[in-house]
């Protein structure tokens, strides 16, 4: 009797990973879900997934988790408190690369980012450049998904919006940026796993439905939250960096995020190809904002207490 192929998903309790697990299960595929928090994996186990609690920098555990897999979804989870984020990214990347080789995995769908073709000037995204370069040396078939700015990033502004009636970041108010809902990234990964139609080392950018300015998204958020006067404010890099550190980020991580935001403002962060039907995804920000409208007022309430942060 032929055994069913196994698909392994790292970061399985995050915005993207959870939807990938659910999509693969809906397609009647065999799934093993990996995440750091065993309690959060229970919901996926109840839906039929195998679960495997582990840290992705533990080569022995991850090799064991990848063993028997036809294909794996890889991503580098956040660690906003580390004193050297690039070193952390490389450690996780090295462990997963060694595990893919050690377990003999045939196919890899890797979460990267727009801008990962560049070695510098984009902070944490440059760590994904290193990650892609490392995975390109593997014998497995590797597809790098390069999504753009996550619509979910706007969740971070909700406490400010509810408490101060403004929305602010260091990004320019009028700068047009492609933005994507993470559900669309997950849907792309599920389709690629179902078809396994990629060979060698390849890249696919995912650009959302269109470009938006921060003024655009602020207007939509104001509408769904019944705050029609909500305005966007561009913060200084210095003030934003201090606020990140006050919320629990290490100085190193905060500095890298400021570098990334400067890169976005200066046009460094941009796709390598023009928008097309192939790299556009369906969920508009107006549709996505329905999720924001249903969120509790205290979502993401800032705290100086050091905790493990979520995926961006």
The residue extents of the domains of the chain are: 6-151+180-206
| Residue 248, pLDDT score | 96
pLDDT tens string 254-291: 999 999 999 999 999 999 999 999 999 999 999 999 99
Superfamily grouping for domain 6-151+180-206: NAD(P)-binding Rossmann-like Domain (3.40.50.720)
pTM of the shown model: 0.94
| Residue 56, pLDDT score | 97
* CB proximity list for 135: less than 8 A, separation 6 or greater: 74, 93, 97, 100, 108, 110, 142, 144, 201
pLDDT tens string 85-121: 999 999 999 999 999 999 999 999 999 999 999 999 9
Separation of CA 299 from chain center: 19
How many angstroms separate the CA atoms of 152 and 150, rounded?
5
Q: What is the mean pLDDT of residues 41-61?
A: 97
Report whether pLDDT(218) > 50: yes
DSSP secondary structure, 240-306, as one string: HHHHHHHTT--HHHHHHHHHHHHHHHTT-S--SS---TTT--S--HHHHHHHHHTS-TTTT----S-
pLDDT tens string 153-176: 999 999 999 999 999 999 999 999
pLDDT tens string 186-204: 999 999 999 999 999 999 9
| Residue 4, pLDDT score | 86
Contact yes or no for 77/311 (Cβ under 8 A): yes
| Residue 302, pLDDT score | 39
DSSP secondary structure, 200-216, as one string: SEEEEEE--SSEE-HHH
């Amino acid at each position: 009797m032929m055994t069913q192929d196994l698909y392994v998903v790292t970061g399985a309790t995050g915005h993207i990973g959870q939807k990938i697990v659910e999509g693969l299960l809906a397609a009647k595929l065999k799934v093993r879900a990996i995440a750091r928090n065993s309690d959060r994996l229970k919901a996926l186990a109840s839906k039929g997934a195998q679960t495997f609690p582990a840290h992705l920098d533990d080569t022995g555990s991850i090799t064991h988790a990848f063993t028997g897999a036809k294909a794996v979804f890889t991503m580098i989870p956040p660690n906003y408190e580390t004193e050297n984020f690039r070193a952390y990214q490389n450690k996780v990347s090295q462990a997963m690369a060694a595990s893919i080789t050690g377990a003999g995995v045939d196919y890899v769908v890797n979460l990267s980012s727009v801008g990962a073709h560049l070695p510098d000037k984009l902070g944490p995204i440059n760590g994904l450049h290193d990650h892609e370069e490392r995975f390109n040396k593997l014998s497995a078939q590797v597809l790098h998904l390069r999504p753009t700015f996550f619509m979910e990033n706007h969740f971070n502004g909700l406490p400010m919006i509810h408490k101060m009636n403004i929305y602010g970041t260091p990004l320019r108010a009028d700068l047009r940026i492609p933005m994507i809902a993470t559900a669309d990234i997950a849907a792309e990964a599920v389709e690629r796993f179902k078809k396994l139609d990629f060979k060698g080392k390849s890249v696919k950018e995912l650009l959302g439905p269109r470009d938006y300015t921060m003024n655009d998204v602020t207007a939509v958020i104001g509408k769904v939250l019944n705050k029609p006067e909500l305005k966007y404010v561009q913060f200084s890099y210095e003030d934003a960096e201090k606020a990140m550190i006050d919320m629990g980020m290490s100085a190193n991580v905060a500095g890298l995020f400021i570098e990334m935001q400067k890169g976005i403002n200066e046009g460094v962060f941009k796709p390598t190809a023009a928008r097309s039907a192939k790299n556009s995804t369906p969920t508009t920000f107006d549709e996505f904002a329905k999720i924001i409208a249903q969120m509790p007022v205290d979502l993401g309430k800032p705290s100086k207490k050091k905790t493990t942060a979520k995926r961006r």
